[in-house]
Chains A and B, each alone.
Chain A
Amino acid sequence: MMWLTWRQFRLQALVIGAAVALIVVFLLATGPGLQDEYQLAHEGFLSRISFDQINEYLYIVGQAAVYAAPPVIGAFWGAPLIARELEMGTHRLVWTQSISRTRWLVTKLLCTGLAAIALTGLLSLAVTWWADPIDDALNHGDFNGVFNLPRLLPPVFGARGVAPIGYAAFAFALGVAVGLVTRRSVVAIAITLAAVIAIQIATPMFLRPHLMTPLQASVIVTAENMRGLQLSGPETNPEVMRIEARLEGVGEGFWKISENTVNAAGQVQKTLPDWVVNCIPPPPGGPTGEGKIQAKTAQVSPTVTACFQRLADEGYRQQISYHPASRFWDLQWRETGVFLILALALSGFSLWRIRRDLT
């Protein structure tokens, strides 16, 4: 059975395996250089490595490849696994040899599933290792060009560590189950691709924030830590909808889940009082260019100061919930666990379904 599994799988395995190997070789070749550079001096590391464009390319390509692996594996390894047999009628040949369908499927799931895990794991760990100095610099407040997101933030998180292993196992098991239900390779490939990508998008929105209870911080907005205001209404008489403050003192690289303004009684405010418009800093003096903004913000006008003072005095606070950067691996393992369990459940479904009638 092992022989047959390999014989039917080798072409698909070689295609994806070769792509992964190519990327890994590039990463292995350039990784030590990055690490040496970082050891040399942390200061300005990201701007220095930006000069060499291959670093930016590899950063983006590596990340894209880790995200692409699960949907591709699910669609091209998982979906046709049973669907193609049913389509071509060869299930009637292979399931009437001396071994049971259950054993046939268990062998296929184990061999191909472990290959999916191994290959995605290899790719993800290579990318994580290569990007480690960059992620470390980002977690210390450095940023430059494409290197602008700490690894805990959604666009990067799913392309680091062990989480891609969970996605790959899940995507593969999903593909197999969808193929078994639809019995059409092409349909199963399309559904699996769409579903896995949708889940990759939905996970950081709906699942990941809840894997651990976010930490809460209460911040008083000041002219210094205000990141922005959201206005609505006419330009002459705007209304302040939302205000956002920078979270300080918890290090860099944290992931903000939500931010609300609460009043002294702790109630969440949908809109802010009228007078908050005074907190809007005056527009930079004329079309004189960006150089002067720095100078302008340094000397805050008295009305703005008074406005922020009033906000603080009346007890308005920014309620921020967030995950600190130190939770990276905790969140990684939990997310991996969730998807591995889902993969097992889907495999269980396939094993149950295949024992029932299929002609």
Chain B
Amino acid sequence: MTAALQAQGLGKKYGRRWALTDCTLDVPAGRVVGLVGPNGAGKSTLLNLAVGMLTPTTGSIEVLGSPAGSSQLARIGFVAQDTPTYARLSIADHLKLGASLNPAWDKTLATDRIESLGLNPKQRAGRLSGGQRAQLALTLGIAKRPELLILDEPVAALDPLARREFLQDLMEAVAEHELSVVLSSHLVSDVERSCDYLVVLVDSRVQIAGDIDTLLATHYRLVGPRRDEKSLPHNQHVIAASHTDRQSTVLIRTDEPILDPAWTVTQLTLEDVVLAYMGRSSPSKQNDRPVLEVQR
């Protein structure tokens, strides 16, 4: 199976500032991949590199098995951040734009989608609500019939309801057309709702990548009498730990059952897992970000 995205030592510099440094990641194809990370982690830069809007300063990036660039454009659907559309052009104009710029354009798909969304094709894009505009941008991305659909924070500007509708709609379209999807977001809840694979990117580094179900099944919170987390068995990898005078709370990843009866073991939500990994990346901040307690 070829990878949807594959980066090797990828770096991008704007002037003197590095937006992305030494990023190595492997995103499988045929999945709906959520790329999460705090603002400024380099998510947008990474996705813009993938569609060829940017060229790498260092390293390389491959999309669907070939180097990213303008020759790959027809194979990738891209919904850019803030879902830009031409305010003065109507919805019908946008579909015509898609038809004239994409050889594999699926006209019926596009018109059917607009119809099922209840949009008037004569309406100007500038008059659409944020959610409708995002839907229009998604329609352009899907009707192009790409192999890979990349969405850069597509729902960041939407209200919760529009957000949910958009993601639901995206999932239906993905299921119907068997697309690979990479979707970035700084909200775990978006990803949890729509994705089956998760990549956590913090400071250009992949903190963890994996199947969401597997992630949830292998992470636990252990609460028990105070003890040093270094005394845990070697197959239990400590992600985060905090201690009060009498009690220790440890967040671990393990594939084995937890046998120690001193611990109270609880399952984690995806948000807990993501926040734990995000917190781990910056050791200096660990003290003032007691990740575990804050969740309850």
Contact = CB atoms under 8 A, between A and B. Distances in A.
A94 interface: yes
Given A7-B93, A101-B70, A90 B101 contact: no
Given A92-B78, A93-B84, A100 B96 contact: no
Interface stretch (A72-80, A118-126, A337-345, A351-359): A351-359
Contacts of B18: none
Contact of B53 (A7, A88, A96, A97): A96
B84 A95 contact: no
Contacts of A90: 84-86
Interface string A82-118: 0000001110111111111110000000000000000
What bracket does the count of chain A residues touching chain B fall in? 20 to 34
B114 interface: no
Nearest to A356: B55
A96 B80 contact: yes
Given A93-B85, A96-B80, A100-B70, A359 B101 contact: no
Chain B binding surface SS class: loop
A8 B74 CA distance: 23
Interface in B69-112: 70, 73-74, 76, 78, 80-82, 84-87, 89, 93, 96-98, 100-104
Taking each of A1, A7, A96, A358, which has the highest tally of chain B beta carbons within 10 Å of its own beta carbon? A96
Contacts of B84: 88-90, 92-93
Contact of A97 (B48, B55, B102): B102
B51 interface: yes
Interface string A318-359: 000000000000000000000000000000000000001111
A93 B140 contact: yes
Interface in A1-34: 1-4, 7-8
B199 interface: no
Given A4-B97, A90-B86, A98-B144, 15 more contacts: A3-B96, A7-B89, A88-B84, A88-B86, A92-B78, A92-B81, A93-B84, A94-B101, A95-B53, A97-B101, A97-B144, A98-B101, A98-B102, A98-B103, A100-B70
24 contacts: A1-B101, A2-B100, A3-B96, A3-B100, A4-B101, A7-B89, A7-B96, A88-B84, A89-B84, A90-B84, A90-B85, A90-B86, A93-B84, A93-B140, A94-B97, A94-B101, A96-B52, A97-B101, A97-B144, A98-B144, A99-B73, A101-B70, A357-B53, A359-B53
